[in-house]
Amino acid sequence: MVVGDFPIETDTIVIGAGPGGYVAAIRAAQLGQKVTIVEKEHIGGVCLNVGCIPSKALISASHRYEHAKQSEDMGIVSENVTVNFEKVQTWKQSVVQKLTGGVESLLKGNKVEIVKGEAYFNDDHTLRVIKEDSAQTYTFKHAIIATGSRPIELPTFKYSERVLNSTGALNLKEIPKKLVIIGGGVIGIELGTVYANFGTEVTILEGAPDILGNAYEKQMTSIVSRNLKKKGVQVITQALAKGVEEKEDGVVVTYEAKGEQQKLEADYVLVTIGRRPNTDEMGLEQAGVKMTERGVIEIDKQCRTSVSNIFAIGDIVPGPQLAHKASYEGKIAAEAIAGHPSEIDYIGIPAVVFSEPELATVGYTEAQAKEEGLDVVAAKFPYGANGRALALNETDGFVKLVTRKEDGLLIGAQVAGVSASDIISELGLAIEAGMTAEDIAMTIHAHPTLGEITMEASEVALGTPIHILK
């Protein structure tokens, strides 16, 4: 291999080592390609370093603290329960390091060349990787762009020590006494729940009429809203954040609701209004890759861009910004490059909110199915009628199945309740496999488990429920 002024040749170059990029690189290497992966910051990307994994670690820690204080109903009384937040953060970071270290080992074990630096396209077969003190040209047969996204910054809420994005909120060195969150989407609800569990006085400002947008039905979000209220979280909907005044030890946030301007004092304000794709300043125009005005790259069913040898996956392409979607697309792109007939099919991709209780959805909701003109049966079974849920003292929620009336085919499912993030996998598999309500109902589920709720909901869909009245 020649370095310096001479270009290095590779079969497939992957830009970005997040859950889309590293999966694409490993799969491409498994298929016999010579692969180079370029990452400008950390192996594992946003998800492993400052997103999915550290947030779930903090959620888990906050649950432990909350349960330690509030298990009197089960006869468990704890006194003087305290939080060493510095130690919580150290533990969280150890989880991150284990995973990112594991990913790096997997890349090396699959003989993927790891290059640190920023990639800039010269044309559709050449790019330059720029480091602090050097640069290197690479020529490639195929490229997979997996550069992810970054938090959107409001002009009136410039990020600082007191005005935080999700990364800043995950890395606080103290538990705030008061926290204002702008945006009641997934990130805002998850991090708001974390700090409320730790004792922070949390206020969420949401511009829409309800939290969590249109992806989750009102019957699901209302359970989360109720639990947030129990924790003392104030959720103000149809509120417009106007600006922030920073002080030495806090902030004053101005917002408008019901035609009146109000002010909130807090230690910090967290802005979680969405993320924008990282497609700027990398020379995509030089390569001929077409983008929308928002910087989203249009792709075909094999993740191919407007340039036939360049592929794109993850947060930079249309669809929900989900780590598992990016990983799925990464495999499709790698297999397409290898000549396989793989194509994307999003019907079985779940979405999850790690709220209290957890929410999960896959396929059609009842409303979406009806909008498509489908004749469906919506069948619900409550957690409160499940033995395992009662034994866990976690009875909030339900499993809802959306089946086609003509043949019972499962086309969608929603879960609100403890372990919804795990339960949804069985339902996603059922949709992917073309199963009916009868198939699920006739599958023997272990007892007592939360998984039985899916079986019971299937029996409701069939009109033969056993453990609730018809």
| Averaged pLDDT of the chain | 96
| CATH number of domain containing 449 | 3.30.390.30
447 counts as catalytic = yes
Answer yes or no: is 397 a known binding residue: no
Share of the chain above pLDDT 70, in %: 99
- For residues 184 and 292, state if they share a domain: no
Domain residue limits at 423: 357-462
- For residues 187 and 223, state if they share a domain: yes
- For residues 168 and 304, state if they share a domain: no
Residue 173 in domain = yes
- For residues 133 and 13, state if they share a domain: yes
Indicate which residue of 42, 142, 340, 447 is catalytic: 447
Answer yes or no: is 419 a known binding residue: no
* Per-residue pLDDT, 370: 96
Query: How far from the centroid of its chain's Cα atoms is residue 424's Cα?
Result: 14
Residue 352 in domain = no
* Per-residue pLDDT, 105: 98
* Per-residue pLDDT, 364: 96
Q: Which of 273, 297, 320 is the last residue of a domain?
A: 273
Measured CA to CA, the distance from residue 140 to residue 125 in angstroms comes to 5
Measured CA to CA, the distance from residue 57 to residue 52 in angstroms comes to 9
Answer yes or no: is 56 a known binding residue: yes
Number of domains making up the chain: 3
Q: Which of 273, 294, 314 is the last residue of a domain?
A: 273
What phi and psi, each to the nearest 5 degrees, are found at residue 173?
Answer: -90, -5
Residue 1 in domain = no
What phi and psi, each to the nearest 5 degrees, are found at residue 92?
Answer: -55, -45
* Per-residue pLDDT, 6: 87
- For residues 212 and 294, state if they share a domain: no
Q: Which of 323, 346, 369 is the last residue of a domain?
A: 346
Tokens of 31: 């298929």
Answer yes or no: is 274 a known binding residue: yes
Distances (CA, A) of 143 to 31, 130, 290, 295, 338: 15, 17, 15, 18, 12
Strands (E), 19-159: 35-39, 113-116, 118-123, 126-130, 135-145, 149-151
* Per-residue pLDDT, 1: 38
* Per-residue pLDDT, 4: 53
| CATH number of domain containing 301 | 3.50.50.60
Distances (CA, A) of 426 to 66, 134, 254, 433, 462: 29, 49, 45, 10, 18
- Name residues of the chain where pLDDT drops below 70: 1-5
Cα angle 108, 41, 45 (rounded to 5 degrees) comes to 70
* Per-residue pLDDT, 215: 84
Q: Contact at 8 Å (CB) between 314 and 325?
A: yes
- For residues 444 and 423, state if they share a domain: yes
